[in-house]
Amino acid sequence: MAARPAWLICLESDPPSLLRAALLIATEHDPGLQPERVLGEFSNLRQQVASGLPNLAGPDLAQPLLRRLGELDFHEDDDTPVRPRAALLHQVLQRRRGQPLSLALIALELAQRLDIPLQAVNFPGHLLLRVPGADHLLDPCNGRRLYTRDCRELLARIAGPGVELTGSHFQVCDGRSMLLRLSRNLCHLHGAAGDHMAALKDAERILLLAPPNSADHLLRAAIYRELDCPQAERFDLERALLLSDDERDRVRLSQRLGELARMGRASALH
C-alpha cells in the first residue's frame, strides 16, 4: 500500500493544519523547500500582525486582521497572466502577492493563532471569508465587507451577468475543499504555463481529494495527451466514460478511445 501523502494527514488534526498542508503541497514542485523553516518564519508574521491590531473582542478583529495584512503589503497578485507562484504558499509569503485563496489561507492561519473566529466561504472564483454569524463576508485581498449586493456584483464579474446568486455560493469551505481548490488552481496555472509535469502532480492530487467524477479524469487525460502518454490517457478516458452520465460526452470519449486503439495497432505494426 502506498504511503499517504503528508499533506493529507494534515487534514486529520483538529483544526486541520492547512498552512502546513499547503507548504507540503508546494514541496512537490519545489523539493528544496523546508516547510518547518517557513512555519518558523510565520511566527514573526504573527507578531507583526498582532502588534498592529486594536484592543477588540475576537469576532471584531477579523476585518482589522485583513487590513493589517494589507498594511504589511499582502495583496492580490496582479500578474497577467497569473503564474503558479501566486498559488504556491512559500512564494506567496515571500512576495506578499497571491490569489484570494492563498491570501485566505494565510489569514485563516493567523486568525487561528490569534483566537479570531474566521471561516472560509466557497464562493466561486474568489474564495471569501466570514466571521460565524456575521451578516457580511470579507474579501481576503483587502478586508472589504461584502453584503448581498456586493456578492451579486462579484459573481457577475466572475461568472457573467446571467448567473444567479444562491445559497450554495455561501457554503463554508472545509479543509479538504480548500486543498482541492488550491490543487485546481495550481493545475490550471501550471498547465497555462506549459509545465505539464507539474500540472500532472496537481491533477493526481485532485483525484485524491475529490469524489470520483468524469471531469477530473478528463483533466488528467488531457495532461497525459500533452505528455504523449497514450496508455495513461486511455486509462483516464475509460474511467471518465464509466463515470459520465452525458450521452454526448460518452460518444466523444468512445471516439477518442477508438483513435487511441487504432494508434496502438499502427504502432505495433511498425
Q: DSSP class of residue 127?
A: -
Please report, for the chain, how many H helices and E strands are present, in that order: 12, 6
pLDDT value, residue 14? 86
The alpha carbon dihedral of 6, 10, 13, 17 has a sign of positive
pLDDT value, residue 162? 86
User: Helix 175-192 crosses helix 100-113 at what angle (to 10 degrees)?
Assistant: 150
User: Helix 18-27 crosses helix 175-192 at what angle (to 10 degrees)?
Assistant: 30
With 0.85 as the threshold, say if the pTM is over it: yes
Q: Are 147 and 136 in contact (CB under 8 A)?
A: yes
Q: Are 11 and 175 in contact (CB under 8 A)?
A: yes
pLDDT, one tens digit for every residue, the chain (270 residues): 456 899 999 999 888 999 999 999 999 999 999 999 999 999 999 999 999 999 999 999 999 999 999 999 999 999 999 999 999 999 999 999 999 999 999 999 999 999 999 999 999 999 999 999 999 999 999 999 999 999 999 999 999 988 999 999 999 999 999 999 999 999 999 999 999 999 999 999 999 999 999 999 999 999 999 999 999 999 999 999 999 999 999 999 999 999 998 886 655 444
CA proximity to 201, closest of 214, 182, 215? 182
pLDDT value, residue 269? 42
Sequence-distant (6+) residues with CB within 8 A of 161 are: none
Q: Are 181 and 125 in contact (CB under 8 A)?
A: no
Show me where the domains of the chain are located. Answer: 6-170, 211-269
What cell does 164 get? 444567479
| Distance set, CA 219 to CA 2, 137, 194, 208, 225 (Å) | 23, 32, 15, 14, 10
